A = this chain, B = another copy of it.
Amino acid sequence: MLTATKARTFRIGEVARRLGVTTRAIRYYEELGLLPSPRDRPQGVHRVYDEAAVARLQQILKLRGLLGLSLEAIIAIADADTSREALRDTWDADPSAADRARILDEAKLLVLRQLELVKERQAVLSRFACELRRTLGTIEERRAALDAEEGN
């Protein structure tokens, strides 16, 4: 009975609806080890998720949907994330200052890596948007020319 905050939990269907995915996808991520499978869940028992698990899944979905990373690549990032969480448990229990510093530095690197990927994406998208606007401009010019010609 340690830190019995009794946080709200969710079933797989609720989580799926909240995040806009199917339950199958969630189970698949668990299969790959992306979601921390409650290793003591017996065969046939319903899966239960807390807010932390939902947040983690949401992060996975962003890395995949927005940045187009493969699940394998996400595992590489998420593994580091998992070890960070594991170390965060250490945080409460055994807060050696050196350990704390290492945890924070690793976490920072991870977030920075993700920020870099997001920035790249934003740059490419901006170029695409410019291109589309140029195309739009030429179309409108030609359309205007057509109307002017009509007006003669």
Residues of B near A104 (CB, < 8 A) are 139, 142-143, 146
Partner of A97, one of B105, B107, B150: B150
Given that A65-B68, A125-B66, A125-B122 are contacting pairs, would A115 and B143 also be in contact in the complex, using a CB cutoff of 8 Å? no
Closest approach, in angstroms, between the C-beta of A95 and any C-beta of chain B? 10
Residues of B near A150 (CB, < 8 A) are 97
Binds B, one of A1-9, A35-43, A71-79, A130-138: A130-138
Bound: A143/B140 CA distance, A: 54
Chain B residue with Cβ nearest A107: B139
CB of B97 within 8 A of CB of A128, answer no
Chain B residue with Cβ nearest A131: B62
Residues of B near A129 (CB, < 8 A) are 115, 118-119, 122
Bound: A133/B111 CA distance, A: 8
Closest approach, in angstroms, between the C-beta of A19 and any C-beta of chain B? 14
CB of A132 within 8 A of CB of B115, answer yes
Q: List 7 A-B contacts (CB under 8 A).
A: A66-B125, A108-B143, A111-B132, A112-B136, A114-B132, A118-B129, A122-B122
